[in-house]
Chain A
């Protein structure tokens, strides 16, 4: 049985939930309202034959496979697809909430044009033809005026083929500006870029790890592909199979992951790099590191001299001189003997892997800390080997040429989404005339959301593709409503942290309930409408046809297998590892049909130890001393010393190190760290009541923002449990309900991510967005927003 809200009852439900929260501070009232709503006449009992269909979840980057039960034309239940290799029948609460996404009363019905102003939008529903015609006219005008490069697409993080389609579109149109919102993996990706020279997504062979040292990675709270991680977690505890993996969680807060870990190491916030380097010191000084791996596959471990004979500091000298156990203990607050024990355990329980550092989707962490953590993987010989850090396999049939502009492409506007507002506002290196937001809400989701708000006002033409109105689409000229996962063709690739090449494809499960389209269909229609090179580059009637063509590329690779059972996975892997390939299909058409039926295709075997693929640095090795960073530093130095000789670069800038932490202030004596919960991971999902209900289960604090505060700190500042408080930084203040939590460190408070939208579904507009008060600190090298914490004060509201 399923249900459908109408707007009136939905709002009533929302108000009831809010009233309940305000009155009691406990979330169960909201649930009782939900139950009351379900009991009303709006509950519709569907009729018709029962059937099951295959789909994929798009509510987080995990991209789990779904099996959807239908009664007639209504989807009534979602469960995991047992054939999908990522989740193998499992599903997290987000996947289950997919039905609420489908039948949500606040979804957009039709394309809308802003008939008012950016500050006071007045939305008028229009047809798709009119909307696409408007966009076509603007883009033609830009292209004809030689301003094609001024079109920017800002996408949400996603796998699958839609990013490729967008890059192909832009390449044919003449713009290099495809940007993606930050992800929690960005700092780790930066470390891999600097130390391994690769840009492909990082992956971890967690299922085969024997020792997992997690530096604040919220492994069990939505990180990576949540269900895949939980499956690995279950495997770690499968003692019957003769193995037991130890999970050590290093973070200041007693998170759900810390609670379920074998050991929680509570360090001072922001000192992850120092701890990692302290462990590195112990590994080196005790001779516990993998000397063969270091000798064969790394660069910059020992001191070295470059071609000019100039001396450079090596990693070993750095940790020996600056990260001795007592020094690190003083920085991190972790006892020296604990650091030593962690090093010994990691060395004795290989394969061991180190993850981190701490990251959330909006605040990706610190690249130098990530380099320090990743250096442990090199010392433990855990790179591209079973149980270690891997590099995601590319999907066969990728043709990167088609994703680049022909000839000499114009220079990219910026390197990362975080830099976009500055570029827009400064019009440097050139202006942005048109911005396409593809299910991206930077005003809400990025730490520099205010800057984005100002920047969007400056862009002459903004289009937002979204299923719900949000803080960014509110500033758009056109809003194009997107279909939910069950209403359109869907595809996903390998999720974050999963190594195997994978392509999940599923047809629509139900007819679209509104006049909505998949972004791929909208983009292809726009390509046809634009004509010329763009139409020629993308000659597909719809997104289904586009997907069909990509499957030809997969077929041509003559490898991999259609999704199958666990046993078939094992079989296929055994065969491929031995050099045999026995596919279940003999034509591309057969592959396409099987993919639709089973859920997708993947490469079940990962080839470990492909050094030429995973080490693409100038040395062809893992670089403790990043020569890429050295080159960037030299370029910066040259730019700063025009005409003269460049200043000598500091070797520490090329080596992992502990960065200086923000100074405390008597006015703002507490440190705020933003935290992520699985239901609202990625800052998404607050519009779904199912997820609101379970967001703060550890404190029974749902439906609204809460502030986690240690009892001593609460006492010190006169804060009682359940009191409404202001949390104020130099940047501003937000309100939340204080929850006394012994899992918070004294002097450190936590606000959850995902609450406090200004626009959209009433559910999503509850609570406060902590990013509004987080101080923006960028890494000087990458421009990446750092996750170092913000100093705040807390007082009763």
Chain B
């Protein structure tokens, strides 16, 4: 195995149980959590609920919010930065913005919080989880979408709209975009035929389109206040579904699976569970054609199966691809780390430390302010990292530690 093909050191602990992460903890009920812990079938790099506690207790919520909960003077971390964020990307974002955060804290006479590695793993789990949640929709936009996407040519909403499709108010109580997309997916072939016959273009949904539509349709129903939610999803079951429904025939996850369709660990895939489900809808005609060509039966999903499948795919995306030790070594020099973190340097030597994103983030907060101050005195610029660079750097640093490090801890 070459250095680049080898799983990253910080991932070694996770590969033993591939499926498992955060989304599970967003969605798994405590009973299932207990079962996981007892059975040991799940590996958890962090617990989102504890991460939320850290978010509020450590003072992050004084400035930042998540989906509107918390302070308003700094970005809502459920929305910013945009797009999918893996653990390494979370670390990179935190690292790059740390000096400005410390400066703001200094002005407001607030001491930077300290984190254990466990705290940070939990915080990462929380942020990753909460970023996967869909925001409540905008009904006004949903109303426009319903018209723009020509939904009412076939469907109706109460007394309005066409008669060939079912009344959308039937699903008004369903609050989860995944539930909607699941129903749409199952009926996609029939819908496609009718739309083709009528010359209606296949509607594509982006961003918060599906939650917006749901929000509008919900308002049309007098029984909207009796909601139907999706219950906790199970990524383990999702992995099984991925295999059994034949998804792996075309799709790959990393290096495993087919090559005829996009790699589902791709960073370009959407941020939220609902958006992910909508992407499945968008590609339904193409997938259908491809499956027909390959004589693969088109899978149908129950609500729960769809949720489990997407939870599994999200769990997979938490991790970055393996880093590169050689690139990491170059970065260590190029970014100026080696100037201090060397034998006899003013910073501690890092060769005995096993790193993961959460450990590195904890170190950032615990030692970063002093390090930043020292760098300012020496007029050294605070280094900034791209997410891939963080992975390489961690890979490099971890490669220098004793092999026993992989046994240490679960995070």
Interface residues of A (CB under 8 A from B): 240-243, 393-394, 396, 557-559, 566-568, 570-571, 573-584, 586, 607, 609-613
A575 contacts across to B, CB distance below 8 A: 26, 133
Pick the contact of A579: B71, B73, B224, B229 (CB < 8 A): B229
Given contacts A580-B229, A610-B224, A613-B224, contact A567 B72 (CB under 8 A): no
Contact A558 B72 (CB under 8 A): no
Write the chain B residue with the least CB distance to A242.
B72
Contact A579 B178 (CB under 8 A): yes
B232 contacts across to A, CB distance below 8 A: 580, 582
B134 contacts across to A, CB distance below 8 A: 578-579
Q: Does B56 contact A (CB under 8 A)?
A: yes
The CA of A486 and the CA of B230, in the complex, are separated in Å by 38
The CA of A566 and the CA of B57, in the complex, are separated in Å by 11
Q: Does B221 contact A (CB under 8 A)?
A: yes
Q: Does B398 contact A (CB under 8 A)?
A: no
B219 contacts across to A, CB distance below 8 A: 609-612
B73 contacts across to A, CB distance below 8 A: 242
Pick the contact of B53: A558, A567, A581, A607 (CB < 8 A): A567
The CA of A394 and the CA of B220, in the complex, are separated in Å by 18
Pick the contact of A393: B53, B56, B225, B230 (CB < 8 A): B225
Measured CB to CB, the closest approach of chain A to B355, in angstroms, equals 29
B222 contacts across to A, CB distance below 8 A: 612-613
Measured CB to CB, the closest approach of chain A to B400, in angstroms, equals 39
The CA of A241 and the CA of B72, in the complex, are separated in Å by 7
Q: Does B218 contact A (CB under 8 A)?
A: yes
Stretch of B36-44, B62-70, B185-193 on the interface side: B62-70
5 sample A-B contacts, Cβ–Cβ < 8 Å, listed by A number: A242-B72, A576-B175, A578-B133, A578-B135, A580-B26
Write the chain B residue with the least CB distance to A608.
B136
Contact B30 A567 (CB under 8 A): no
Contact B225 A613 (CB under 8 A): yes
Measured CB to CB, the closest approach of chain B to A758, in angstroms, equals 46
Contact A580 B176 (CB under 8 A): yes
B226 contacts across to A, CB distance below 8 A: 396, 557, 559
Measured CB to CB, the closest approach of chain B to A104, in angstroms, equals 41
Contact B29 A582 (CB under 8 A): yes
Given contacts A243-B72, A574-B67, A580-B176, contact A609 B225 (CB under 8 A): no
The CA of A571 and the CA of B49, in the complex, are separated in Å by 7
Write the chain B residue with the least CB distance to A240.
B62
A586 contacts across to B, CB distance below 8 A: 29, 31
A581 contacts across to B, CB distance below 8 A: 229-231
Q: Does B52 contact A (CB under 8 A)?
A: yes
Q: Does B28 contact A (CB under 8 A)?
A: yes
Q: Does B227 contact A (CB under 8 A)?
A: yes
The CA of A578 and the CA of B26, in the complex, are separated in Å by 11
The CA of A571 and the CA of B71, in the complex, are separated in Å by 16
Pick the contact of B130: A396, A574, A607 (CB < 8 A): A574
Q: Does B228 contact A (CB under 8 A)?
A: yes
Name the interface residues of B190-235: CB closer than 8 Å to any CB of A. Answer: 214-215, 218-222, 224-232
Contact B28 A582 (CB under 8 A): yes
Contact B225 A579 (CB under 8 A): no
The CA of A611 and the CA of B215, in the complex, are separated in Å by 11
Given contacts A396-B226, A610-B225, A612-B220, contact A584 B135 (CB under 8 A): no
A558 contacts across to B, CB distance below 8 A: 228-229
Write the chain B residue with the least CB distance to A569.
B69
Contact B67 A577 (CB under 8 A): yes
Q: Chain A CB within 10 Å — which of B49, B218, B227 has the most?
A: B227
B67 contacts across to A, CB distance below 8 A: 574, 577-578
Contact A607 B229 (CB under 8 A): no
Q: Does B357 contact A (CB under 8 A)?
A: no
Pick the contact of B71: A242, A577, A609 (CB < 8 A): A242
Given contacts A574-B67, A582-B28, contact A612 B135 (CB under 8 A): no
Q: Does B27 contact A (CB under 8 A)?
A: yes
Contact A579 B179 (CB under 8 A): yes
The CA of A573 and the CA of B67, in the complex, are separated in Å by 10
Pick the contact of B227: A243, A559, A583, A611 (CB < 8 A): A559
Q: Does B177 contact A (CB under 8 A)?
A: yes
Pick the contact of A607: B30, B220, B225 (CB < 8 A): B225
The CA of A98 and the CA of B61, in the complex, are separated in Å by 36
Closest 6 A-B residue pairs measured CB to CB?
A579-B176, A581-B229, A578-B133, A579-B175, A242-B72, A242-B73
Measured CB to CB, the closest approach of chain A to B89, in angstroms, equals 21
Contact A580 B133 (CB under 8 A): yes
